[in-house]
Structures are given as structure tokens and as C-alpha cells.
Chain A
């Protein structure tokens, strides 16, 4: 510990000594910096490995002709075939979930922030929403299985329902955050002009919060697209493209990874890797889109 007095002398030497970093301080600083860098590298390594593996194993599959168009082979042993049904299924089921979860979530968030505030009902809703975030996805699938699939059979809509239940609390949470970020001054300014509350929300608050909310929704979509467990009990397994969400079993990329990876056949395992790559690519695209949208909107605001 360098003995620096609180009021060093003002002669150049002692002043210089007081304001330059001592050797021990420099060493400690260097150690801490290396520690940070090291931890970061350590954290990134698994991600790096993952990406490397998936690309290495999956890309060749995806690049095969027919990956995006052909049906899933009936016999897992056989090589070839495509993932078209699974891709279509993932997109359809996720779309269905979005259509249900987004309006509910956004309006729910509007109620929570603009009308309910700290009232009892609002607090209950918020609490339940937080609880729902913690419900394991497989439990959600089981729940939808028991109330829907047992009644209406295996179809894509069941999967959408389950995914929607997963997405809803995320959308409510993130939308409420975005609404909270809209400064109250904007609302006050609107009221001061003689605007009613609901019109203020529609004409001022929502446009201002849109960027962030869209970004939050897209992240929820990206997450839902990758869920496997809820789909296990609800959509069944289809090998052909099924464009009808309500009729008959459907397929999804996550399901295909699950089933194909468990087989001992190499061809199937390769398809699993291909599906993994496709799924990651879809999620990645959505995430990038979310970033672009929120960046563009915040650019407009600045």
C-alpha cells in the first residue's frame, strides 16, 4: 500500500507520486482484467463448440437437394428425404401460437400498466403471469394434452395452444416493460391536449412502445419455435406436410430432432443434425430481425 496522504504536497515529485498508479495497483488491475477475459472465453467456448458441431454436421444435410421439399422418410434407416413437413409444421404451429398469444399478451400488458396499475386485480394477474413463466414446458404440454388433445385429438392446434401458454407470460412481461419505458410526460402531454385515456394509449403510447414490443414479441416467437416438450403430447408425428392446424397430426423440427436423434441409425441422426441446423437458423433469423426492427424504431425516436 503506497502511503499517499490525503493532501499530498504540491511539489511536482510528491504530486506525481500521488497521482500515478502504484505497481501493486497495476498488478491487481491486470489480474482482474485477465480474470474477466478468461471467464468470458470460458463462457463462449461451449457456444463456439455448439455452433461448430451443428454447422459441421447439419450443413451438409441442409445443402442436399430436397431438404426443403421432400417428406420425411417413413423408414428411419433410409438416408435422403427432407424436412419439409417439419419446417412447415414449425412455422405453422408457431404462427398459430403467435396469433393467440400476442394480442392477449399486449392487451394484458396495457391493462396491467395503464389501467390496473397497483390495484388488486392487476397484482394478481402479474403474480400469475410470473408463476406461468416458471411452469416447466412439459407440464404446459401435459396440461394442454389433458384439456384439449384428449378431446380433439392430436393436431397442430394443440401444439399452438401449448406454445401460446408459454409465450403469453413472456409477452406480457416484456410489453409491460416497454409500456413502462414510455415516459409519463408523453401521456401528460396528450391529456393536456384534451385526449381521452384510451385514445392516448392508441395514438401516443402504443406507437412509442411499438419498437420495443415488437422486439419482445419476436424473441418470444424465437423461443417458442424451439420448444420440444409441449409438442410431445399434442401434435403427434406426421411425415407429410399438413397445412391444416386443426386436422390430423403435424410435425415440427424440434420433434424431429428428438425422435431422430434417439434412433441408432446414422441416416436418422444426420437428419437430426440437419433439423437442428435449420431450427437454429430460423431462430437466429428471427433474433436478427428483432434487433433490426428495434434499432430502426429507436433510430426514429432519437
Chain B
């Protein structure tokens, strides 16, 4: 038993913070080796994403656990966002994009021919890098999703509850009918989070949610994530390593392999483990080089 734990706030009880039992393998597609109690939400096996002939992500295998925050880190062009967008089938919107391998959501193959991507997206929400509120009122923005689902009664309660969960209620409760475009960047992003949670998804995917925000807004959203993970499962892509270290329970490090023949970059999952391990004693040298920041 380690003599002293780091003085960070206690995560959800299911997250183990004990040291590693055994070092991860150093094969390019690493899988986590800690036994864990949290049920698995997503199970990706040898997932590859192609844009036409170009392979953007190669053979990624990992598992996302419930009520945890999982971070994808890595340099640009290494397929983290592409990987993230597989989870809610947003890649379908891009022409010529196809996915090979298996991605299971609670055991169901997400890319089965019978699956309707629109239904998938009702259960797996997404928040984008640049806040994208609709040019409608704040109220209508949050009510948009529930109205889609056919909810009509107690819309006021739904909106208030979602805004509270996004830590935005106190700031906007007196101007719900005003345009959402009048909010600051950080508020807009929290509005987008409120909009996403208003439909009660199980998973919230966040693609660099804080990169367009100032440090204070960023801290607010990071605190928000810690609260949200009690009710949702969160997967976040981030360029900011310190943010991944602060916020996530598990971290997946992707890197880009450059093909010598065609000069294209293919993303590859190098290491996926508890965040503590990745940032204190990563198994792969490439991970160590990246997180220390001294070798890219």
C-alpha cells in the first residue's frame, strides 16, 4: 500500500487508484490491464477508420467505462477526434468514411446495418470544440432536444434542470428568452453542455471543449465535468495534457505514424491506462516523450 495518496478529490468509488499490478504491453495497440469494477460502456476492437482509401486510425482497441472520464490525448492528426466521432456515428456525415473492426455499445455492434445513427445520437451526445448554440433563445436551445423527443409538458423544469446541471442556471435564469448568441464563449459552451444533457443521454462526448475558452471558463467546465460524471460517462479529446491529467480517470495516448511511401499520417493507439499511470510512469517510451513535452 503506498504510504501517501495524492491529495486530489476522491473520484467515484469504482475508480481504482492503486498502483499497477503489472506493466502494460508495449505493443502498439495497448489495452488496459487493471481489473476494474466499472461496467464497460464502449468496447472497441481493432477499430480502423478510413476516409476513402486513406486510413486515419489503425486498429485501435479500448474500453470506455461507465461514470468515468476518459481522455484521448496526442499530437495533431493522430486520429483522436476521428476516434471520438465513431462513438456517436458522426463520422457517417462525412462522405467516403467507413469503419472497420467492431465497436460495441453495451454489447450491441454500433455499426450493424440495422442500427439507426439518429437513434444512437439520442443516447450519445456531443459537445464541440467551438461552442455552437443555435441562433435562438437560451430556452429554445435547451428545449430543442427534448422537443425533438416529443416532450411537451414540464419543459420549464427540464430546461431548468439541464441548466443547473451545466452550472449555468444562476447566470441566465432571468434572461431565458434572450438570444443565446449574446452569451460569452464560456457561457455558450456551458449552454451547449446543457443542451446535450437535456436529452438525458448516457454518454457525453466532448471534442476539445475548452480549447476556445479562457482559463477561468476552462476551469469552470473542468469542475463541471467532475460533477457530470456522476450521472454520465464522459469521453473527452484534448490537446491540453494538463487538462487530461487534471480531469480524466483514464487516458488514451494516440500518435501519428507517418507512412514513408505516401507521406500520410495514420493514427495509432499507443497506450491506454489509468491517468495516474500515464502521467507518473508510462509504459511506452513514446507516451513518456509526449507527456513530458520534451520530445513531441
Contacts and interface: CB of A to CB of B under 8 A. Distances in A.
- A touches B (Cβ under 8 A): yes
Interface of A: 183, 185-186, 188-196, 199, 203-204, 207-208, 300-302
Interface in B141-195: 144-145, 148-149, 179, 181-182, 192, 195
Given A188-B93, A194-B120, 9 more contacts: A191-B93, A192-B88, A192-B128, A193-B121, A193-B144, A193-B199, A195-B148, A300-B135, A301-B135
Given A194-B118, A194-B145, A301-B181, A188 B132 contact: yes
B118 A192 contact: no
B128 A189 contact: yes
Contacts, number: 67
B192 A189 contact: yes
Contacts of A300: 135, 179
A69 B42 CA distance: 75
Contacts of B122: 193-194
Interface string B84-97: 00001010010000
B237 interface: no
Nearest to B127: A192
Interface residues of B, number: 29
B105 interface: no
B247 interface: no
B267 interface: no
Interface of B: 88, 90, 93, 118-123, 125-126, 128, 130, 132-136, 144-145, 148-149, 179, 181-182, 192, 195-196, 199
A191 B181 contact: no
A185 B128 contact: yes
A120 B126 CA distance: 33
Given A301-B179, A301-B181, A189 B118 contact: no
11 contacts: A188-B128, A189-B132, A192-B126, A193-B121, A193-B144, A193-B145, A194-B145, A194-B148, A203-B144, A208-B135, A302-B181
A300 B179 CA distance: 7
A301 B133 CA distance: 11
Contact of A192 (B133, B179, B196): B196
Contacts of A301: 135, 179, 181
A111 B176 CA distance: 34
Contacts of A203: 144
Main DSSP-derived SS at the A contact region: helix
A301 B181 CA distance: 6
B132 A186 contact: yes
B21 to A, nearest CB: 38
Contact of B134 (A186, A191, A196): A186
Among B123, B135, B148: residue with most chain A CB under 10 A: B135
Nearest to A208: B135
Nearest to A189: B132
Nearest to A301: B135
Contact of B121 (A185, A192, A204, A208): A192
Given A192-B121, A194-B199, A183 B181 contact: no
Contacts of B125: 192-193
Contacts of B90: 188, 191-192
B132 A185 contact: yes
B141 to A, nearest CB: 9
Contacts of A204: 134
Nearest to B119: A194
Contacts of A195: 118, 148
Contacts of B119: 194
Given A188-B90, A300-B179, A301-B179, A193 B196 contact: yes
B190 to A, nearest CB: 14
